[in-house]
Chain A
Amino acid sequence: MVRLLVEPFRDAYMQRALIEVLLLSGLAGIVSVYVLLRRLAFVGDALTHTIFPGVAIAFVAGQSLFLGALVAGLLSAVLLTWASRIPTVDQDAALGVLVGAFFSLGVVIVSTRQSYTADLTALLFGRILTVDTAEIIQTAVITAAVLVVLALLHKELVLRAFDPVAAEAMGYRVMALDLVVNGLVALVVVAGVRAVGTVLVIALLVVPGAIARLVTDRIGGLLVVSVGAAALCGYVGLAASYEASLNHRVRVGSGATIVVALTVAFLGAATVTTLVRRRRPAPTTPQADPVPA
């Protein structure tokens, strides 16, 4: 067992992949808690689609795909936050429109080139094994920036998540706070696309937070468990994909195995916590009030 977990990482390229995965897992794990508290799973998923035209334009123009994705992601975050404030438009609908518009724009741009299917695959499913030092540094910088912002704004973000009315009444600009969080999610999506692809980065943004919520009731605990679960699944997933490809002749992308690991971890946590709770029913239901006045 230990051999399986250590063996894959003898080569430099696998070590780099591991560092990238651990960085991303830490980043996604932390942001996943805010995604949970603010119910932003759809925002995360939508962003994985709306960065597509940015990548497409960058691809066609021969520029850095990362930059293209970044611009498109941040633009989506801005548009989404702005659109959610229109009275007859709610956030879900705005996201649906943005996904449709941006993704189709990307397709139109890409379809002007003939051979794009191979790049499409890499975009959709990631290519962690070819990550180089420059990309690791990029990821590290993004991680540091996101962590700093979250550390500074933590209590205000929690207040806004819990009670936006009170936040507004106290004088906080809810729209600005929302813009910041949407922007951070966009950053994580862009950073994660390379490792696990657009199709699967949503898993990194949603599942670790969900696992943590099953296990604990306190925000500090949520952050710790979420990061831990993400890092562990990243590690195990990477090792498993190596093992499967090399020794079992099954060609499985590491993005896929990481998400499988996350899903298994979630199912495990759900099963264990359900069984434990059935044994010791804790008072999670609100008590009834005494006789009304």
Chain B
Amino acid sequence: MLQRAEILGVRDFYRDYFAVAVLIGAALLMVGAMLGAGRLIRPVRPQAEKYVTYEAGSDPVAGWGQSNARYYIYALLFLIFDVEAVFIFPWAVGLEGLGTFGVVEMTVFIVLLALGLVYAWRKGVLRWA
């Protein structure tokens, strides 16, 4: 740990973050250039319909729209298995070295996660009604 601290002094720390600043600058410049070019090239013919918010082809409802709370639950369930995947990828790479131990550990992990799905299923969350 200590050697790393010496290599990565504070000046290097700032130098690393200079790269981040350059990246942000480049991103801003690129977006600006693309939008600016569009503005210069495109013809301008305003029509009322063009200013209506696009909502999947149908006319938008005035005022506050309510999004269905069910989407939220599906997003949550998706998240569980998204996280699972994040852990399974590196595990799969090292599986040969880990052997039986690795299989058992991952089984425990997946079973614990699956409990969440079983819970959601038993509570009737998965039914779209």
Q: Do A and B bind each other?
A: no
Q: Interface on A for B, CB 8 Å cutoff?
A: none
